[in-house]
Structure 1
Amino acid sequence: MAGTEPLDRNTLEAAAHWYVELRCEPDAATRAAHQRWLLSDPRHVQAWERLARLQGKLAQVTPGIARPTLSSARAKRREVLKVLSVLLVAGGAGGAVLRDSGVARLMADVRTGVGEQRSLRLDDGSQLQLNTDTAVDIRYGAEWRALELLKGEILVQTAADELSRPFIVHTRQGSIRALGTRFTVRSDNDLTRVCVLEHAVEVRRARAMAAVRVDAGQQLVFSVGEMGNVRPIAAMADAWARQMLIVDDWRLADVVGELQRYRPGYLGCDAAVGGLRVSGAFHLGDIDIVLENLTATLPVRIRRFSRYWTRVEAA
């Protein structure tokens, strides 16, 4: 039976394309072409039937395609990826497929590449800045203002809301509710770090009810299973928003690890020099210059095999 045949990704992606095309341009020619596609393969019918069963979920994740047309091919592609993500999950692949395939990040409402930063003004007047290699979904509704940080780091300056909707940032590890504030959130691996620059936030772990208040000048690191202790933030914790990295007595290995976030390819540090201490202010616009500056003050050299493979070693 066609209904029991496994559906490959190409078939599901084609179904997602047709879903978007029919909602954007529901003319006779598009409908006829869609019918020909359906009749060409039983798996196409199976994929389309799955779409029909998921109409409710699709309406929630694709509000933008109710308009007659999308503003650009890039916007249309993003909507296709959103539909595809729902189809993958419905097929039993779940979140693992989304993470492994990169679909969730590709379909993010806003994102940056490695070494790129981006600033934007949200619909309520709040300001959002994305650091390097960051992906964010924006979920504003009648009762809330929400961001989902899929990866990376953001700086948020919340604005007063006429509807008094709460402002919440979600990560895989939990949520951060703003209390009229300016703060950063960074999600790496299995940890979320919150640094509060003005006023306060409330932090909740995923699947936990209790909240921890974090005030200006404080930070908190937490995971799904553990809430860390509230601690003072480092000076200039938001320096990255001005393309600066400011360190005070850091291990060289940690400095290199931070620089790696802003540079494509591999950037490593030999364990023999990883414990050297570093203090200073470094501009993130050109990581190669930062590395050369390190050789002027530390007994290290920079070893390069290619543009995408660099290592800091003992001189």
Structure 2
Amino acid sequence: MKIGFIGLGQMGSAMAANLLKAGHDVTVYNRSRDKAEALVGGGAKIAATVAEACRGEAVFTMLANDDALSALVHGEGGVLASLRKGAIHISSSTISVALSERLTKEHAAAGQRFVAAPVFGRPEAAAAAKLFVAAAGEPGAIEAATPLFEAIGQRTFVLGDEPKAANLVKLSGNFLIASVIESLGEAMALVEKGGVDRHQYLDLLTSTLFNAPVYKTYGGLIADRKFEPAGFAAPLGQKDIRLALAAGEALNVPLPLASLLRDRFLTLLAHGGEDLDWSAVGALAAKDAGLDRE
């Protein structure tokens, strides 16, 4: 397929590279041109503008937040103004349910199609084309986009006809991951202050009751105190918890644990954690307990 890809951070660059490897004709756009140039060797074409990236059958967007996505979609020469009728905007950004609803209506009014396809997986999974895609949208659009999802991930979960469903699921998933990070940090602080080695404790956990990738990955980062370079930066984690709380408020669903996590992220950011991986939230418990953080 002839497609565009807008947003070449760690995740977007890896996803675009895998689309190229799968044989798709990919035109890339990023505010920092050097990130686009890094994909030229793999066959990518560089777009000088957002509009140039929107001339194919579909365009991916992978941006940090609602504001960044809205600016590229709604700005002069943006996605909404540039995508041809019948073409698909595939949003893999973790955005609010409200923005997803707005984009669905606006693309439909313009004769375009909108698919929400946020992904689960860290940059190493993106590089290996092992992401999990949570997709939702009109069935015909999902069917057309399926070869693209197969190029970037190991499995696609179709969650319905309404794109906002995929965004809600993504926010709920990130809320659960953050909950694991916080609980792992608290449990590790407890046993470590009681004289148990945290790495030995993690080995026990992940070899028995908690033998799951999320515990192994984030438990390892917390035990090693390895929060740089960030695979997923702390401000993005704070943003996702805030969006989960907003979704809960809109649906009248109390999320008391999410309120706690919001404050934990704010604590991390207040103490200079902007450049750290979001798993650094798991080290706050050790600091609160008076433990060393080496």
TM-score range with shorter-chain normalisation? 0.3 to 0.5
Counting helix residues as a fraction of each chain, which structure ranks higher? 2
Flag the structure with larger Rg: 1
